[in-house]
């Protein structure tokens, strides 16, 4: 029996990286997936690949920071697949700045990384209520717990996700909706690759560098699918007694 058979899942930022791996895994497990992605090309391609592989997927062009866009996405998702069971708030931007960040940079990252998940929940939760309940998984990070050089903007948003997760879990428990966060360590996605390359590091270099996966107990970057499995667990009925908390998937980065 597939673990998400008959379920409908909305995944933001599912055109690339962890979101895409999650959409592919959820589809393999029987879910119909809504790729709520701002990048038309990658979003469309992700949905096509899943459909070609025999899964159910719909791409909806979505900017999680724009409420009208989010409301449209939720309506299209319900029109295509009916009530929704799972929301994965994955989309984020990586504006990595210290205290020199401009108000415009602060607004951009707060809008996408913090307000975005709240807006998406606001418009998707009514459809989860229609389904009789479900699960929300928010993407936090090791950056929710540790200091990193010149990461003031990003780490502030990822720390906020933990508060968002706990408060949403409290408010939505009566509706039978569980809310949890996943906190990945260093995952080899486009953004990590770009930053590693800027430091002159390839993947093998990032695996051992003390500021990258070298700081983990397992000295290698994760594949996005390794994070997707943790998201799948929290989204599935196997996690029926888990809400308001976070799961570290960081290869021991924060265990030191």
Ligand X SMILES: NC(=O)c1ccc[n+]([C@@H]2O[C@H](COP(=O)([O-])OP(=O)(O)OC[C@H]3O[C@@H](n4cnc5c(N)ncnc54)[C@H](O)[C@@H]3O)[C@@H](O)[C@H]2O)c1
Which 101-160 residues touch ligand X, going by CB under 6 A?
Answer: 112, 116, 139, 141
CB 11 within 8 A of CB 33: yes
Distance, CA of 75 to CA of 30 (rounded, Å):
22
Residue 38 makes contact with ligand X by CB under 6 A: yes
Shortest separation between residue 131's beta carbon and ligand X, angstroms: 23
Q: 256: exposed, middle or buried (C-beta count within 10 Å: 0-12, 13-18, 19+)? A: exposed
Residue 39 makes contact with ligand X by CB under 6 A: yes
253 an active-site residue?
no
Options 94, 154, 212, 253, the catalytic residue: 154
Pairing of strands 134-139, 246-249: unpaired
Which 160-189 residues touch ligand X, going by CB under 6 A?
Answer: 184, 186-187, 189
Which 40-79 residues touch ligand X, going by CB under 6 A?
Answer: 42, 62-65
DSSP per position, 156-199: HHHHHHHHHHHHHHHHHGGGTEEEEEEEE--B-SHHHHHHHHHT
Number of residues that bind ligand X (CB under 6 A): 30
Q: Which of 13, 169, 201, 228 binds ligand X (CB under 6 A)?
A: 13
Q: Which residues bind ligand X (CB under 6 A)?
A: 12-13, 15-19, 37-39, 42, 62-65, 90-93, 112, 116, 139, 141, 184, 186-187, 189-192
């Amino acid at each position: 029996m597939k673990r998400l058979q008959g379920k409908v899942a909305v995944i933001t930022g599912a055109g690339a990286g962890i979101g895409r791996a999650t959409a592919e895994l959820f589809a393999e497990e029987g879910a119909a997936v809504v790729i709520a992605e701002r990048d038309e090309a990658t979003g469309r391609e992700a949905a096509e690949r899943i459909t070609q592989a025999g899964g159910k997927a719909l791409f909806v062009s979505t900017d999680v920071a724009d409420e009208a866009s989010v409301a449209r996405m939720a309506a299209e998702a319900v029109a295509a697949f009916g009530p929704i069971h799972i929301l994965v708030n994955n989309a984020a931007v990586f504006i990595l700045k210290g205290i020199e960040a401009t108000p415009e940079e602060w607004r951009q990252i707060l809008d996408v990384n913090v307000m975005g998940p709240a807006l998406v929940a606001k418009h998707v939760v009514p459809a989860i209520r229609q389904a009789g309940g479900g699960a929300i998984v928010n993407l936090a990070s090791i950056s929710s717990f540790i200091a990193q050089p010149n990461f003031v903007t990003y780490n502030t948003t990822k720390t906020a996700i933990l508060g968002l997760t706990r408060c949403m879990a409290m408010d939505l428990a009566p509706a039978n909706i569980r809310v949890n966060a996943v906190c990945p360590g260093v995952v080899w996605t486009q953004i990590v690759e770009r930053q590693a390359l800027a430091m002159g590091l390839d993947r093998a270099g990032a695996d051992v560098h003390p500021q990258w996966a070298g700081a983990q107990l397992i000295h290698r970057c994760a594949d996005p699918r390794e994070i997707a499995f943790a998201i799948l667990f929290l989204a599935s009925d196997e996690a029926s007694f888990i809400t308001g908390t976070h799961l570290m998937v960081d290869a021991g980065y924060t265990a030191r």
